[in-house]
Homo-oligomer: A and B are copies of this chain.
Amino acid sequence: MFPEQTILRIPGPTPIPPSVQSAMQRPMIGHRGTEINELLQSIQKRIKPLFGTKEDVLLIAGTGTAALEAAVENTVSAGEEVLVLVSGAFGDRFAKICDAFGMNVRRLEVPWGDAVRPGDVTEQLKKYPHIKAVFMTHCETSTSVLNPIEKLTKAIRAESDALIIVDGVSSIGGTPTYMDEWGVDIYVAGSQKALMAPAGLACVAIGPRGWKRIEVNKAPRFYFDFLAYRKSLERNFTPFTTAISLLYGLDASLKVIEKEGVDVVFERHHLMRDMTRAALEALDLPLLAEEEFGALTVTAFKPYDIDAEKLRTYLRETFSLQLAGGQQHLDGRVVRIGHMGYCTPADILQTISLLEIGLEALGKNIKRGNGVAAAQDVYLRKGIEK
């Protein structure tokens, strides 16, 4: 019914700021010239704070899953024992990649909606002392749980020399991250989430323990070989064709982030999380993740007596509001609201006001306006202090 408006509130791909959109329309340039050198050098320096690292961040043309696969291929070899912390669909994906490449995979599964407990990891490492690497998910997008990476890393380091590899695809850029301080060896991200660019760039930060392993790892790899990327990065090139327009986009989105200030970006995500959770609670919609582990970038809820897919369809067809559904066994049972990247408290209020209409239209007995008022409360209490 309405003009070409899409209110994109899924947990990635996320909306693109206008300046990123227009930066990507710059004309193509050769991928071996000095412009590329300068672009890569500049991005390199400026993306590090988002990972909380001083290490190089490799930029690989590929999506978040490419980044996960690359992290596996480069660090472990077929037959080696690995531990994968599975708290949802993306932990499961890490495990499936390890399976595909013939690793001996130990899965530490927790119920979807829970975070992984450090004590359980310690137990696994005691039980399987030959584990070479632990793969884990920072923000588990499928459940909106933020796993406690700092505590998990501490627990692993106390027990083992295993490499620590974190999927930060849906957290990096919207969640305070301190890779070096926490002792994470490899952190991966994708361009299409809180980094506010289209999908297509995998970003991989690698610490010294990571490189040490990568250098000796004999697992077959070519396109994703981190050593090739490191070698090219020394001369500020990419080993294969540079994804130029995506780099233009990332460069522009980093400018947006810098203008707002990295810490303010994180605070805004925190605020949007708190507003969303308060609104959903006021509307009696059970949240999937506990307060302590609620992700800053996405919030999942159970629509209770309303069919999740009917609700999503109604909102999409009526308002072009796109929310995400559940994955795997949560399909049809949860709704997920993305609030990352180019998204503001004003967008949260809009989303909640539309959700209220959808709930009532589908027969749920709610007091409309209460969800909005609860989110406004949080904004007035927390958002204005700054």
Known: A353-B372, A372-B353, A373-B368. A360 touches B346 (CB 8 A): no
- Please determine whether A346 and B319 come into contact, CB atoms closer than 8 angstroms: yes
Q: Which of A196, A264, A356 has the most CB of B within 10 A?
A: A356
The A333-353 residues at the B interface (CB cut-off 8 A) are 342, 344-347, 349-350, 352-353
B346, A321: Cβ atoms under 8 Å?
A: yes
Give the size range of A's interface with the partner.
Answer: 35 or more
Contacts of A319 in B (CB 8 A): 344-346
A260: interface (CB < 8 Å): yes
Contact with B along A226-268 (1 / 0, CB 8 A): 0000000000000000000000000000001001100010001
Q: Which residues in window 1-26 of A have CB below 8 A to B?
A: 1-5, 7, 17-19, 25
Q: Which residues of B contact A19 (CB under 8 A)?
A: 4
Within residues 58 to 98 of chain A, which ones have a CB less than 8 A from any CB in chain B? none
From B3, B344, B372, contact of A260 by CB (8 A): B3
Q: Are A386 and B1 in contact (CB under 8 A)?
A: yes
Interface assignment of A384: CB less than 8 Å from any CB of chain B: yes
B256 touches A4 (CB 8 A): yes
- Shortest CB-to-CB span from A253 to chain B, Å, is 9
A305 to B283, CA, bound (A): 32
Closest to A321 in B: B346
CB distance from A249 to the nearest CB of B (A): 14
Query: A27 CB to closest chain B CB, in angstroms?
Result: 12
* Cβ–Cβ contact A346 & B356, under 8 A: no
User: Is the C-beta of A380 less than 8 angstroms from some C-beta in chain B?
Assistant: yes
Is A369 in contact with chain B by the CB < 8 A criterion?
yes
The reply to whether B349 and A354 form a contact with Cβ atoms under 8 Å apart is yes
Find residues 349-386 in chain A having any chain B CB closer than 8 Å to their own CB. 349-350, 352-354, 356-357, 360-361, 368-370, 372-373, 376-377, 379-380, 384, 386
Residues in B whose Cβ lies below 8 Å from that of A377: 368
Q: How far is the CA of A323 from the CA of B48 in the complex (A)?
A: 38
List the B side residues contacting A370 at CB < 8 Å.
369
